[in-house]
Amino acid sequence: MKRLVLPALLALAATGCMRSRASLIRPDEEAAKCELVQTLMREQVPQQLLAGLAVDGRDAPSQVLVFVRRPEEAMLERLFAGDEPTCGGPNYKVVQNITSDAVVLFLQPRVGGYIYDAQRAAPDELSLGGEAKGAVMKSEGGAWVSSSI
């Protein structure tokens, strides 16, 4: 029986039935993350940052990079796990790596939602975020509701 396990696993891998971590991401999870980002991008500070990029003549749509900060675990991770998130709005798109000046959102989990910071950054000038600019929480109806601090 043990001799059959390895050939069976190799056969699954060869036919593409084994999945990488990225391929296990459910589309509904990515859609919920996108709704969160779209809610945040309607807030005053991110809108001001997008307007500043437009005034400076940056190509539209502007790039947006989103991180989740977990200070208690000393972690900073990307919100979207896939290589190319399919999230955006009329004047921005979410990316995994910025190639020009962009808006960077930092989310820190809180009960029922996140606090967030939004900054303008260049590829060679990323920070770990600063002071919280606002909070976002799930409403009873399931929609994200944000507020500025």
The pLDDT score that the predictor gives to residue 129 is 73
The pLDDT score that the predictor gives to residue 99 is 93
Domain count, the chain: 1
43 belongs to a structural domain: yes
Q: How many CA atoms lie within 13 A of 73 on its CB side?
A: 8
**Identity of the residue numbered 103:** V
Query: For residues 139 and 14, which has the higher predicted lDDT (pLDDT)?
Result: 139
Contact 97, 65 (CB under 8 A): yes
- For residue 26, name the pLDDT band (cuts at 50, 70, 90): low
Q: Look up the domain containing 96 and give its range.
A: 26-148
12 belongs to a structural domain: no
136 belongs to a structural domain: yes
